[in-house]
């Protein structure tokens, strides 16, 4: 199993894992500049974890999970290609989740957490709430990138679809937050609604987004069971 993980890691290459590190390092340096200029850095750090890292993760999922230059050969092997894609998906999600957890823990240690008021009563609950600020968003963007890649069968189109939804979230945030049936699709409430969302409502949103992400991932996975469609998409790419 270790050899298989190392093989998939090398196959996807540094371009699948390094961009998120560079994003977080660059964001951290920019936060230092903000703090040096006496500007509030907490909300920017929230956006870094809740909005920018999930977008980067979803794009990586769309680019590297369902595209393979040797797809025809992969589909002839005894190892199901669906399991290969699932392994790549898990590796990317785990990698980015670890990066987000380390970054979020550092933000908490520095006292720069950015959460709706009122904060949880204890430090432990505040720390756990900080993880909920980014985890549902990351999984939702993962599910969106994964499903877009499977449905559109094009890396460029799937990344564009993900980026478009990300922009729609920002532009139409006030409309989405007021529609009860769109409320589970509000992916970035911590950053976009710093003052207008009570903590209890924020927590409900985080749990709903988490459920939507899991449902979308489960609903998209069966598309991997149709190799003819995968081959058609790889030839059109």
Task: Dump pLDDT digits (tens) for 110-157.
Answer: 988 888 877 777 889 999 999 999 999 999 999 999 999 888 878 889
> Which domain does 201 fall in, by range?
2-236
Interatomic CA distance for residues 69 and 22, integer angstroms: 26
Return the number of other C-beta atoms located less than 10 Å from residue 161's C-beta.
20
Higher per-residue confidence, 16 vs 176: 176
Whether the pLDDT of residue 9 is over 60: the answer is yes
* Mean pLDDT score across all residues of the chain: 85
Whether the pLDDT of residue 230 is over 70: the answer is no
User: Percent of the chain, pLDDT > 70?
Assistant: 86
Please give the average per-residue pLDDT across 35-42, as a whole number. 87
Number of domains in the chain: 1
Whether the pLDDT of residue 72 is over 80: the answer is no
Of the candidates 175, 166, 155, the residue with the CA atom closest to the CA atom of residue 237: 155
Interatomic CA distance for residues 224 and 103, integer angstroms: 33
Please give the average per-residue pLDDT across 16-35, as a whole number. 93
Higher per-residue confidence, 186 vs 224: 186
């Amino acid at each position: 199993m270790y050899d298989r993980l190392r093989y998939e890691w090398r196959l996807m290459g540094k371009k699948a894992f390094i961009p998120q590190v560079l994003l977080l390092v660059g964001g951290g340096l920019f936060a230092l500049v903000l703090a040096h200029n006496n500007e509030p850095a907490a909300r920017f750090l929230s956006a870094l974890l809740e909005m920018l890292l999930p977008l980067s993760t979803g794009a990586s999922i769309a680019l590297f999970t369902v595209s393979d230059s040797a797809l025809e050969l992969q589909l002839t092997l005894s190892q199901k290609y669906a399991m290969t894609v699932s392994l790549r998906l898990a590796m990317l999600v785990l990698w980015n989740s670890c990066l987000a957890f380390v970054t979020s823990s550092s933000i908490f240690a520095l006292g720069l957490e950015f959460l709706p008021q009122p904060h949880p009563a204890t430090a432990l609950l505040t720390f756990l709430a900080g993880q909920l600020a980014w985890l549902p968003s990351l999984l939702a963007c993962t599910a969106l990138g994964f499903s877009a890649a499977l449905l559109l069968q094009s890396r460029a189109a799937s990344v564009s679809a993900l980026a478009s939804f990300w922009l729609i979230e920002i532009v139409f945030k006030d409309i989405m937050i007021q529609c009860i049936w769109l409320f589970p699709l509000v992916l970035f409430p911590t950053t976009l609604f710093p003052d207008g969302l009570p903590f209890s409502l924020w927590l409900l949103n985080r749990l709903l987004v988490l459920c939507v992400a899991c449902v979308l991932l489960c609903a998209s996975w069966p598309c991997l069971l149709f190799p003819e469609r995968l081959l058609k998409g790889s030839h059109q790419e």
